[in-house]
A and B are shown apart, each in its own frame.
Chain A
Amino acid sequence: MESFLNLTIKVWHQKGPTEKGRFESYKVEHISTDSSFLEMMDILNEKLIKENKEPIAFDHDCREGICGMCSLYINGRPHGPDDDITTCQLYMRKFKDGETITVEPWRAAAFPVIKDLIVDRTAFDKIIAAGGYISVGTGGVPDGNNIAIPKDIAEQAMDSAACIGCGACVAACKNSSAMLFVSAKVSQLALLPQGKAESKRRAKNMVKKMEELGFGGCTNTRACEVECPKNISVSNIARLNREFLKSEFSE
């Protein structure tokens, strides 16, 4: 049932990448429990604009949980206090009246803050550019029955491909490791015939790129898979380790 909340929003403010940031607290009133977290942020921003203050900058695009653009660390968890959702799919019914909600940007050396809650995630694009593709033209669409792919393999590849590149895994990880992201991208290709040919080289180049960009290594805490909005499993990381070690030991 719809009810209304009065809340204190404690949010990170930072003018630019090289500026020093700080927390600022704001009051918001009469927020419907049926509204989404980002709608609450819109209401707060509207209020700030009316008071001639600068609105809080945050990332968002589709607002339907598919694009991977939204990215807030809310009350100590990436994408906030709910499971298997992105921030745009977080609803205010998850909060209590009178609560103080702390909103921070993803924190990682590899994801520098651009402004307020917006971080620069081009590091992910650079990792993809290091090998997250198939480098030969595969021609037109072949007949589906020409390449037989067992259903469970097709499903695993599909599950890995569900990664939307939001970066919550990095934000959740105590080492700021991007292993879940990289492993999902490596797996979605390594599992299927077209991607298999280059899988060793791909694993090696993408992992190397990841570290060059300042992400940490994996220590198997599994925080990433718990916080991932798309339920990407750490079994992908085991596969990535396998592909990487195979690549190293075959040389």
Chain B
Amino acid sequence: MSNFLSVSIGRKFLMSITGIFMMLFICVHLTLNLFLVFDDSGNLFNVGANFMSTNPLIKIMEPILALGFIIHIIWAFIIYYQNYKTRPIGYAVTDRSYSSNWNARNMLVIGALVLTFLVIHLINFYYVIKFDSAAMGQVTIDGTQMHNTYALVAGLFKGSVIYGILYMTAGILLGFHLSHGFWSAFHTIGFNNENWIPRLIVVSKIFAVIVATGFSIIPLYFMIKF
């Protein structure tokens, strides 16, 4: 295990593991968020959000997830810089699109855009939920008192088309990131071969479309319906 991170495969291994972990989070996050569009009273989403914020397992996972994000982002920039240095004199003419996809070549750019969104997203919701929960108001569902998280989220989308468009764009960008990231993560840890490459790439595309449409359908729903 000596100097694991001094070798590119070791560093990529970290990108892959944190990436897979974040994709699992994305699945849970998306499922919960879709509660927003299935119950306009907000009860379903509020119960879900309350469960997440009181569940001890989630409490344990939260710092681990944050660490995963931080490692993924820091290593993204390190890896990119190291790879950038390998070609001091570039080509005058390149025809890169013949041999690779645009999103595969621009993972850092897409990731950095997702990161920008992430910061805004945390300010919009996470900050309020954690540090300013009095601003949210309370609801009582089946005798349990809880924060009205639904009002916070729905309020943002009902009140602002700009935010709606921003959240939709972010969902689509994440889809692009994952259409390469999903299969790439498995390839990196060695789980791939001649038979599995085309299969994983198909699953990758399906997963990306689900993530992109899933996340962008939520603001769209509030923009159209309200």
A-side residues, CB < 8 A to B, are 23, 73, 75-77, 81, 102, 104, 107-110, 156, 172, 174-177, 204, 207-208, 211, 214-223, 226-227, 233-235, 237-246, 248-249, 251
Report the bound CA distance from A249 to B189 in whole Å.
12
- Which 8 residue pairs of A and B lie closest in terms of their CB atoms, listed nearest first? A217-B8, A242-B190, A76-B95, A175-B83, A238-B192, A226-B99, A176-B86, A216-B86
- Knowing A216-B86, A220-B188, A239-B193 touch, does A104 contact B105 (C-beta < 8 A)? no
Residues 168-221 (chain B) with a chain A CB within 8 angstroms: 180, 183-184, 187-194, 197
Q: Which of B10-18, B21-29, B66-74, B133-141 contacts A (4 or more CB under 8 A)?
A: B10-18
Residues A107 and B91 in contact, CB atoms below 8 Å apart: yes
Min distance, Cβ B96 to any Cβ of chain A, angstroms: 7
Residues 131-176 (chain B) with a chain A CB within 8 angstroms: none
Which B-chain residue is minimally distant from A81 (CB atoms)?
B95
From the candidates B2, B83, B187, name the one contacting A234 in the complex (CB within 8 A).
Answer: B187
Report the bound CA distance from A234 to B99 in whole Å.
13
Which A-chain residue is minimally distant from B197 (CB atoms)?
A235
Min distance, Cβ A119 to any Cβ of chain B, angstroms: 11
Residues in B with CB closer than 8 Å to A76 are 91, 93-96, 98
Which B-chain residue is minimally distant from A152 (CB atoms)?
B194
Residues B86 and A222 in contact, CB atoms below 8 Å apart: no
- Knowing A176-B86, A222-B104 touch, does A248 contact B10 (C-beta < 8 A)? yes
Residues A217 and B83 in contact, CB atoms below 8 Å apart: yes
Min distance, Cβ B148 to any Cβ of chain A, angstroms: 44
From the candidates B82, B107, B187, name the one contacting A238 in the complex (CB within 8 A).
Answer: B187
Which A-chain residue is minimally distant from B181 (CB atoms)?
A220
B79 contacts partner chain A, Cβ-Cβ < 8 Å: yes
Q: Apart from A107-B91, A175-B86, A221-B99, what 8 extra A-B contacts exist at CB < 8 Å?
A: A104-B91, A177-B83, A216-B83, A217-B12, A217-B79, A220-B180, A238-B187, A238-B193
Report the bound CA distance from A231 to B100 in whole Å.
15
Residues in B with CB closer than 8 Å to A215 are 86
Residues A241 and B188 in contact, CB atoms below 8 Å apart: yes
Residues B92 and A208 in contact, CB atoms below 8 Å apart: no
Residues B197 and A234 in contact, CB atoms below 8 Å apart: yes
Which B-chain residue is minimally distant from A21 (CB atoms)?
B89
B63 contacts partner chain A, Cβ-Cβ < 8 Å: no
Report the bound CA distance from A237 to B191 in whole Å.
10
Determine which residue in A75, A219, A237 has the highest number of CB atoms from chain B within 10 A of its CB, and name it: A219
From the candidates B9, B184, B191, B194, name the one contacting A233 in the complex (CB within 8 A).
Answer: B194
Residues in A with CB closer than 8 Å to B225 are none
Residues A222 and B190 in contact, CB atoms below 8 Å apart: no
Which B-chain residue is minimally distant from A242 (CB atoms)?
B190
Residues A77 and B98 in contact, CB atoms below 8 Å apart: yes
Residues in A with CB closer than 8 Å to B194 are 156, 233, 235
